[in-house]
A and B are shown apart, each in its own frame.
Chain A
């Protein structure tokens, strides 16, 4: 399984790494127990500073997608998929709340906000 980073992308490199590993877990290209390369190996291969890869790994660890067992290495957590969905739900909830609050501050009613979000969700599905 390979990952690819784009140095010219506006998305920070560590987020690209995190996003692709999360996607690989969701697609079951990486399953619980699979080991990830050491930070230095991945940093060398991607021609990055090792702190950048370390940041990506830290982010994944905070989301409980991976866990580092010291010298034994870094592994995909047993419940990584569930933790990803939980984290994504938390992120989505937070972003929607922030959005709703900003619409409210502009004078929109609860009903209008609900209708707008529902229309957007239906439009996206189509």
Chain B
């Protein structure tokens, strides 16, 4: 029974994450960029970079989707290979991250930077601080708990409770997550007020920061599950079940976000601007 649920999650992530979510977020990102100076864009219809870059990004996503579908059919039904199931869940997402971030970087350089700024630009002189949006104890507790998890693995490694390879992979994975979260805090605080405020209102930044806090606590949750499995040989959830749960949660969020009326309105505006 559980296997079928996992296969369903595996298959559903192809249309939901690789196609629908990629398309939604690509269009939103391009909407943010072109919102820099809509009048200039209207005066320069020959500037078709947004359309071209979006097509290339989606071509990459379709390629990953097709490869993912083929691999899933091959390794789940035609020539079952259970050892590849985690890869079937994770690798398409990892590939999508690479494609999307490459697209974001290229679009920022060749679209956002190329569009001249509007005549006048306003900004607040207020200093945006993390603890003005999220309670300090919540953030400190999250990082402290992660430090405890790291400490437990360091102890376990030096006392040979777990192998060095396992300990280092857990420590490395969690450290990378924490570094990414710190970086994302800074990015979210420093980003300009943009179309995310149009979707989520004035709380957009707060929501973004709370999502990052959620990721910090996700690190704790995964750390606790790993400790239970590695040190106490308790596996309430198998590895594949954890990743399937994560993928499922992500799919639910992406569907809700993508179907929100304000998101649809933003996408409709983008489609009107760059109608093929």
Contacts and interface: CB of A to CB of B under 8 A. Distances in A.
Interface of A: 1-8, 21, 24, 30, 35-38, 40-42, 44-47, 73
Contact of B120 (A5, A30, A38, A40): A5
A48 to B, nearest CB: 8
Interface in B14-34: none
B190 interface: yes
23 contacts: A1-B125, A2-B123, A3-B125, A4-B123, A5-B121, A7-B116, A8-B119, A21-B125, A30-B125, A35-B127, A36-B127, A37-B127, A37-B128, A38-B190, A41-B128, A44-B191, A44-B192, A45-B123, A45-B124, A46-B121, A47-B36, A47-B117, A47-B121
Interface in B163-198: 189-193
A41 B127 contact: yes
Contact of B123 (A8, A30, A38, A46): A46
Interface residues of B, number: 19
Contacts of B120: 4-7
A44 B187 CA distance: 10
Contact of B122 (A4, A7, A38, A73): A4
A13 B232 CA distance: 62
Interface in B94-140: 116-128
